[in-house]
Amino acid sequence: MHLVLARLGVEPGEADAVAPANAMISNRFSRETRTSVLAFFATGANVRILLAFLVGGIVGQIFGWRWAFVLAAIPGFVLALLLRYTTADISRSQSKPKTAKNPAFSRNLVSDME
């Protein structure tokens, strides 16, 4: 039951990550290269699973399952720090939002987007 609950907790996080990642990729790359970049991004899930089973199994066999989880976390931390300090923020598209019925709401919405 513990594993079922843990898996149910992981799924919303994975589901919430794919849509924003696709949006960021779509904003960053042109129409000509977008499909290749999205395909490369989608391939990453299968590569992660392969490496998790291969490296995790070897490390788990030699050092124990706790160290396998520690080793699995290290690349994520390194990548997060690398992206944080080397990547510029991507600006949103310059399209104007549709006018809302409530003018105070639309003024706040436009000022938040700028």
Predicted local confidence at residue 38, as pLDDT: 93
Per-residue pLDDT, 43 = 94
Helix axes 65-86, 31-63, angle to 10 degrees: 150
For residue 16, what pLDDT is reported?
A: 78
- Cα(52)–Cα(75) distance, integer angstroms: 12
Say what the pLDDT of residue 108 is.
Answer: 60
pLDDT along the chain (114 residues), means of 10: 85 80 90 92 90 91 92 90 84 54 59 53
